[in-house]
Amino acid sequence: MTDIISPRPDTSPSGDFHLRPAFILGSASPRRLELLAQIGIRPDQILPADIDETPKRNEEVRDYTRRMAREKAAALAGQAEGAILCADTSVAAGRRILGKPVDADEARAFLRLLSGRRHRVLTAVALAHRGRLHERLVETTIRLRPLSPIEIEDYIASGEWQGKAGAYGIQGRAGAFVAWLQGSYSAVVGLPLAETATLLAHAGIRGTSE
């Protein structure tokens, strides 16, 4: 296990040294990196995990999302030492799981399905540290207002749907589509900040103001 010795000015103004593990963000998502930066946490290393994201037959969205975060962490556990954080975000319309659309046609179909409809956004976080896996699952319910065909076409043309579960990004133009939300905004963007900060703090990783 590689641990980094670093001063923690928040707890040791006298200059004491504390052990904190190397922190690896197991994600290619720029949003997840930005969300961590928002709470003053910078990974020592970024390692994207490449796994098969196909849901199993009849797999329930909560099980699926948890499995994805867990498998990303497991895939990286052999590649790096320290605390490895992975996450997965899925959108569920009823029992249907909407992942990242493969093309504009699928994105269009997802947006038509979600237009004017209540749906769920699930984000699972998995932290692998010292041979153990610590997990959290956060569920957010969202209702998009009804979208006109022109709005959907404009959004498709913007390209913002690419790489986003459910084919929309709440943090961009689609913010104007959201009529109502109950849950965690940061979880919808990719990482529930309250739960993630708690998991990381237990592993000795805290935000700094540097």
> According to the binding rule CB under 6 A, does residue 169 interact with ligand TTP?
yes
- For residue 88, indicate whether it is catalytic: yes
Find out whether 130 and 77 touch, Cβ atoms under 8 Å. Answer: no
From the candidates 16, 88, 105, 154, give the one annotated as an active-site residue.
88
Smallest separation, CB 74 to ligand TTP (Å):
13
# chain residues binding ligand TTP, by CB under 6 A: 24
Find out whether 89 and 109 touch, Cβ atoms under 8 Å. Answer: no
Q: How many CB atoms lie within 10 A of CB 83?
A: 26
Alpha-carbon gap, residue 204 to 19, rounded angstroms: 8
> According to the binding rule CB under 6 A, does residue 28 interact with ligand TTP?
yes
Selected range binding ligand TTP among 38-46, 109-117, 166-174, 197-205, rule: CB under 6 A: 166-174
> According to the binding rule CB under 6 A, does residue 31 interact with ligand TTP?
yes
> According to the binding rule CB under 6 A, does residue 196 interact with ligand TTP?
no
Q: Which two tokens stand for residue 141?
A: 């319910």
> According to the binding rule CB under 6 A, does residue 101 interact with ligand TTP?
no
Q: Please identify, using beta-carbon distances, which residue of 87 and 199 lies nearer to ligand TTP.
A: 87
- Work out the angle at residue 116's Cα, subtended by the Cα atoms of residues 114 and 87, and round it to the nearest 5 degrees: 40
Q: Give the containing element (helix H, strand E) for 113.
A: helix 104-114
Q: Nearest 5°: phi and psi at 165?
A: -60, 135
> According to the binding rule CB under 6 A, does residue 29 interact with ligand TTP?
yes
Smallest separation, CB 118 to ligand TTP (Å):
14
Q: How many CB atoms lie within 10 A of CB 70?
A: 18
> According to the binding rule CB under 6 A, does residue 197 interact with ligand TTP?
no
Smallest separation, CB 136 to ligand TTP (Å):
14
Q: Which of 33, 91, 122, 138 binds ligand TTP (CB under 6 A)?
A: 91
SS3 label, residue 81:
coil
Alpha-carbon gap, residue 150 to 73, rounded angstroms: 40
Q: Which residues are catalytic?
A: 88
Residues in contact with ligand TTP by CB under 6 A are 27-29, 31-32, 48, 72, 87-89, 91, 100, 121, 163-166, 168-171, 188-190
